[in-house]
Structure 1
Amino acid sequence: MHEQIKINTEYITLGQFIKLINILESGGMVKAFLADVGVLVNGEMEHRRGRKLYPKDVVEIKDVGSFMVVN
């Protein structure tokens, strides 16, 4: 089961989302993490901080967990 993360806007960028779930402290850390490791968004590898996430999108972060965007 995915942990649900609520947003109050139409979408959220991947960089903002990672900061929202409190696994990395700064935007610089998020940028480096995505460049080096990346995450799965709806089953596809993603390295872009600006990737827009909409409700029902699923983000999987290795060794951290699985998260679903909800509104």
Structure 2
Amino acid sequence: MMRNVRPDSFELRPSEIAITSNQVRFYRARDAVAAGQLADRYGASLVDLTWFAPKDEIARIDVLVADAAMTPATQGSP
């Protein structure tokens, strides 16, 4: 599944909210396997957002990577 990802088919952008744990989100049932592979690879929680049903029909998988400064193991550390 993941071999079909092209280098020009994704974008990196900062989050406007603090990400405290790694997550992989998918919006279409047919993307669940690829999203699961990413979640396994990056030690992330898999989040099923198929109920959301965005208007566009393009494949979309969001990978949210926690800021090391915000993870529970480091919160409150100087």
TM bucket by the smaller chain?
under 0.3
Q: Output the TM-score relative to the length of structure 2.
A: 0.26
Q: Output the TM-score relative to the length of structure 1.
A: 0.27
- Point out which structure has higher relative CO (alpha carbons under 8 A, 6+ apart): 1
Q: Which has the higher strand share?
A: 1
